[in-house]
Structure 1
């Protein structure tokens, strides 16, 4: 079975994840993985591009080149760590860095939907000596879909079980869920539920040292402001039926500021943001189960960086007490490498000329082969 490398940098902008994956006949297998921390200067540069209103092509080119060089460094480190030669890699699946995701366009009568991932697959192929598959999202968007989430097809390949419903919950910068039915012929449901680490990290960085609230300790020290939580949950996105996806374009610190009265203790806001994630996930689970008329045993499989946040997981379990808990490790994966693994798997699907999207998830008009191929 051929080897693929998946590269993922999520909306948290904390680093590059690289996963070495064996794809083909039989189970998709994680061979090795590595994470590289995002250099602070690059992180700040990328953050400034998100929602940037006036950007120069030179700024974009500099950020793109620096990001691509970090990706190439991650690939080189992974190859050395795993003892793998570059010529053994069938392809690298590169997600790129999402700068803006607007599946509904901006507010205007003639809004054009778009999604933009900063990437340079030609340069990545040159630097690594490996074939690259990139630009996965825009074909789904062109077919009328949301272009996100794309991981549910991979979740279905890894976690589907004929005896029970399973719910895969990715807690990255934003949260998305995948509802997997026991009936292999039933459609898979998946969509974004709202913010997860993006707002928690941003609020923490504003008031504390460090980019994230380790283990949710600061959130656990605060008290949920019920009135603030209600105001936040009034956001129309939470109540929109799927398919749906979102990002920093909707949920950012200015959005939060518009709901604050100005007297809140910072730790109480952090606790409320953690509860917002749990509450919006629970709302999403209700939407998905209602859409699928799901009944019977169901297990929750958390993944992504938020899967390590004990405070957040406790809030989720309290809101979803009827769900059993299952760990990614039970099928040979860890929660940190699932998204990178998904783009390795999507690269394999592209080379096999197999569809990579699920219309039941994204709302596209049909299955589509995703990604462009860039030769080494």
Structure 2
């Protein structure tokens, strides 16, 4: 067998296949798609108009600077200072990427060598496994188990070996909705320092925290110099198609990540970068209202899922709800999701596609609530058919 089939087989996960299958089922059956996590409304009108202005004025229509336009890098640095008290030099410590997904890929490709081990929370966001594999490294899962989905810190310590290179931390966590608390963050930081590990933090849902507060790991003592922090505009401003993300880290780490990033997209989203710079400077009311709106939607869907008989795990953050189908007399999340459109006209995603340990995730199903109220209300109404 040639190298390409081997590589394809190594990278192939169930996630992409299932997402495509569920979206096709939604179209074929006219179902409400609560599977993939993208809003069904656009973000702030002033941000959209800022993108239109940039297009019309010819700003960003040609290649933007490799690290990102200065206006956006300055806005990202201001954002980190404004919300977290973290100071970054926009010229040397900020890198703009094609969404958080490219930031994750570039960081893993830049910082890993073949044979390295990466410890990450399981269930994994689906790009993690592929990017770790492309770097020739090995993913080591720290499984988050229901009902609380909190990390077992003793198990985390036991997973660290001489081959461990970095920790990949996702908080708020997709798909479980976990938000790491101060004690968990402190323990993770202590282990990283003790074992001289790098840390990549995926914080794209930083402004969607409903329980507790999001605290970046980079803000803890001894962590700024070893942490690559990643976020993006898509989730916070509901422009997921723009694909504008970023990395903040020390000059040495940013330079290393940029070395890999330049061979991926090199640059992207020129006019949208100007708009995202404006978005990051929106007043505090925007961020508070955004969170409050999604909290209300979360409760609307969570209550409906509970009434329909699901075991509901109330998320502390993100815009996903993980449910257990066991109370419905079901066991297999994949089969359940394949039949759900015909049964009640709703599409969801089986969490098992995010697990290496498929038995742990087998009965879990994920729904998203970043949809219009009337869409969620209709979905809740349809889901009641399961108990009929």
Structure 1 length-normalised TM: 0.28
Structure 2 length-normalised TM: 0.28
Q: Higher strand proportion, which one?
A: 1
Q: Higher helix proportion, which one?
A: 2
